[in-house]
Amino acid sequence: MRLLRPILAFLASIILTLLGLLAVTFVIGRVIPIDPVLAVVGDRASPQTYAAARAAMGFDLPLYQQFLIYLKNVLSGNFGQSTLTGRPVLEDIKAFFPATIELSSVAIVVGVGLGVPLGVLAGVRSGRWPDHLVRLFGLVGYSAPVFWLGLVGLLIFYAKLDWVGGPGRLDIYYDGLIEPRTGLLLLDSLLAGDTEVFWNAVSHIVLPASILAWYSMAYLSRMTRSFVMAEMKQEYVMTARIKGMSECRVIWRHVMGNVAVPLVTVVALSYGGLLEGSILTETVFAWPGLGRYITESLFNADMNAVLGGTIVVGVCYILLNLLSDLVYRLLDPRAHAA
């Protein structure tokens, strides 16, 4: 019974969070000043046509009935039809979301690979020039508008220097040469053994991923710095130094062993932020991902696509939080006793 109780509480929290997400998206779909019926029938439709379409879409029913229908459809994987593409929203999400996952995954790997070591350096050298330099570098990445960085990056590294590929995931010449097995172009090109397509895809992803990684690195370096500074004041650090342990071992074995526990949650939230916050980057770089799909759907009053994409991003947040919680419990045995 003692083991069953936390499992039931864990499942209940997942269900309540998911219901809350669906309730929020439902309310957004009703209060936003866009009429989904007009998006379907057009603004020149007769009142009779408008009324018939409104009844067919279920908007003449009471709100609680509309929510129950909405809940049933979403849980069955039915997000409705997209007026922008003419296809089911779920098919569109399956087509566009892998591009966002690929871009965000490359960005988070670079962000963690740079942000954590820089955060450790800033925390250990707190108040000195490495700390000030890392904080300044992070402040620029955290404060500068993403769309501005994207435009400047394209102007310098693509238009002027020709070091990277332009907008999109591939040059037009390579488009359609690789069979989309996973939707992740880098992985699919490697599976197909086509290194030429792979390196062309790398040249296109390096700039948008670097800009997203800079934003992620700024956040991760700042949080890592705070965690390291807090741990460096603990008594076990002084004890390890008195025993003659090297400074490098004290930091990377003992301090980082404790920092890794809260850092897992920070990395998970940062990755979720990249999945959700890559809209501007995808728009600037014409990246065919979920963020650009949601943006274009919003401009075209395609609320089925907007809400479907929002739900997918929200579910990703929930799954990432669950994963970080599981890793947290593995890294910190004290969490089991809580």
Looking at CATH, the fold of the domain delimited by 97-166+206-337 is given as MetI-like fold (1.10.3720)
Domain ranges of the chain: 4-75, 97-166+206-337
Q: For all residues of the chain together, what is the average pLDDT?
A: 84
Token pair 């219901």: residue: 19
pLDDT at 187: 92
pLDDT higher than threshold 80 for residue 74: yes
Residue 232 has pLDDT above 60, yes or no: yes
Question: What type of residue is 263?
Answer: L
Question: Which pLDDT tens digit goes with each residue over 247-258?
Answer: 788 888 878 888
Residue type, 220: L
Local structure of 20: helix, strand or coil: helix
- Report the pLDDT value the prediction gives residue 19, as an integer from 0 to 100: 85
**Alpha-carbon radius of gyration of the chain:** 24
Helix, strand, or coil here: 95? helix
CB 287 within 8 A of CB 103: yes
* CA atoms of 169 and 204, how far apart (whole Å): 6
Distance of alpha carbon 322 from alpha carbon 17, whole angstroms: 11
Instruction: Check pLDDT > 80 for residue 277.
Output: no
**Per-residue pLDDT at 204:** 94
- Per-residue pLDDT of 280-304, as tens digits, reads 788 889 899 988 898 888 888 788 8
Altogether, the residues listed in the chain come to a count of 338
Neighbours of 67 (CB within 10 A): 16
Q: Kindly state the average pLDDT of the residues 311-327.
A: 83
Is residue 266 over pLDDT 60? yes
> How large is the average pLDDT for residues 68-93?
86
Tokens of 291: 């963020």
CA dist 140 and 121 (Å) reads 18
Residue 14 DSSP one-character state: H
pLDDT score of 338: 47
Joined tokens for residue 165: 């590929």
* b/e 73-99 (16+ beta carbons within 10 angstroms → b): ebeeeebbbbbbbeebbeebbebbbbb
Q: Give the burial class of 213: count Cβ atoms within 10 A of its Cβ; 0-12 exposed, 13-18 middle, 19 or more buried.
A: buried
Structure tokens at 283: 């728009």
Q: What are phi and psi of 262, to 5 degrees?
A: -70, -25
Distance CA 148, CA 140 (A): 12
**Residue 189 confidence class, pLDDT cut points 50, 70, 90:** very high
**d(Cα 130, Cα 148) in Å, to the nearest integer?**
27
pLDDT tops 60 at residue 55: yes
Q: Is a pLDDT exceeding 70 seen at residue 2?
A: no
Strand-pair partners of 88: 81
Q: What is the DSSP letter of 193?
A: T
Report in angstroms the alpha-carbon separations of 132 from 31, 111, 149, 224, 229: 46, 19, 22, 15, 14
Which carries the bigger pLDDT value, residue 19 or residue 142?
Answer: 19
Residue type, 8: L
